[in-house]
Amino acid sequence: MEILAYPRDAFPDRKILVQRIADSLEPDNRPSHAFLDSKDYSQDSSVSENFHSYAFQWDRSRPKDRVPAHVLDLMNDDQCSQLVWVSRKMLEEEEILFVFMLAHEFRHVYQVRRNLTHDAVRRKSRALWREPEFHLKLSSLPLDPPELDADIFALRTTRSIFGPEPMTQLIGRRNFPRCPDKLYTPFLLRLEEIV
């Protein structure tokens, strides 16, 4: 895995952290490239919505339209088969949440490589969502099985790196950026127990 930044010398400490996390995971979680981008696209409507998110995983089956030139150069590189793009707002996040979101994206790399179908997550998350505690209270939005699978992996990875207590504290004081609904955390923790 090659870790690149824009500009080239930006985020030296986060590059080391990205490498450390990648090294701690199975090789199929590692994209060919990780790209740490210092540009802020929040006001730029000319770029794809992916660039307004915290991070995303890209592979050759995905489109390359409305991609900033410096990222497009990398996507057009033959060596770049799978890319994890990381936003400036994620790079500026506290370390434990950064690791959580990075592990989430690395899991998407694994899902693509292994062609995961997420049947168990799909079935169990739907059943759980129908329970009175969550039904009609938690939006159906977080139920996309690949996203749930990636969050469960991120939860386990972050817990194994930082320990259970810092992870419990994090989810006690922060909502997950991907799904800020306060019921999402208890939902995810319940789902983690049964998949």
Q: Which residues bind Zn ion (CB under 5 A)?
A: 147, 150
Shortest approach of Zn ion to residue 78 CB, angstroms?
Answer: 26
Shortest distance (Å) from residue 132 CB to Zn ion: 28
Cβ closest to Zn ion, residue 80 vs residue 101: 101
CB of 70 to Zn ion, least distance (A): 23
Q: Which is nearer to Zn ion, 14 or 107 (CB)?
A: 107
Residue placing its CB nearer to Zn ion in the complex, 10 or 174: 174
Q: Give the residue from 115, 177, 171 showing the smallest Cα distance to 146.
A: 115
Neighbour order of strands in the sheet with 2-6: 2-6, 33-37, 82-86, 55-59
Tokens of 85: 């793009």
> Closer CB to Zn ion, residue 150 or residue 188?
150
Smallest gap from Cβ 147 to Zn ion, in A, equals: 5
Say if CB 85 and CB 71 are below 8 A apart.
yes
Cβ contacts of 82 within 8 Å, gap of 6 or more: 31, 32, 33, 57, 58, 59, 60, 109, 112, 113
